[in-house]
Amino acid sequence: VQLQASGGGLVQPGESLKLSCRAPRDMNLDRWAIAWFRQAPGKEREGVSCIRNSDGNTYYTDSVKGRFTISRDKSKNTVYLQMNNLKPTDTAVYYCATDQIDYYCEEDFKYQYDYWGPGTQVTVSS
């Protein structure tokens, strides 16, 4: 499974970005979990948000609640991460990941997803 992540860039604090994670067209996402992770320089990778495509449930790490929104477009086999009011602490490489085990999408982001896309750099700086 090859995921394609895009949408990163350089923005100033307070601005927005929208990341996209596209799955192959022949992949039925209905029972897959898709998550966004990020890794900042010198830090461990952390879960940011995820969506269970079976029921649409979503989860967010505390630091992005109220600012980030995960959504999906089934017709395009794409999951989005709308990031508003970005902060310098959001600077990281963002990765999307997916797994057939739907309950992997949960609030603690403790499970290891099987399939990962290449990262996209998000830099928030004035």
The Cα–Cα gap between 66 and 1 comes to: 31
The mean pLDDT of 37-52, rounded to a whole number, is 96
Q: Which residue has the tokens 């830090």?
A: 43
DSSP-derived secondary structure letter, 26: T
57-116 pLDDT tens trace: 999 999 999 999 999 998 898 999 999 999 999 999 999 999 998 889 998 898 899 999
Residues 6+ away with beta carbon under 8 Å from 26: none
In the prediction, which pLDDT does 30 show?
78
The Cα–Cα gap between 8 and 114 comes to: 23
Taking the CA atoms of residue 24, residue 29, residue 32 and residue 35 in that order, the dihedral angle to the nearest 10 degrees is: 60
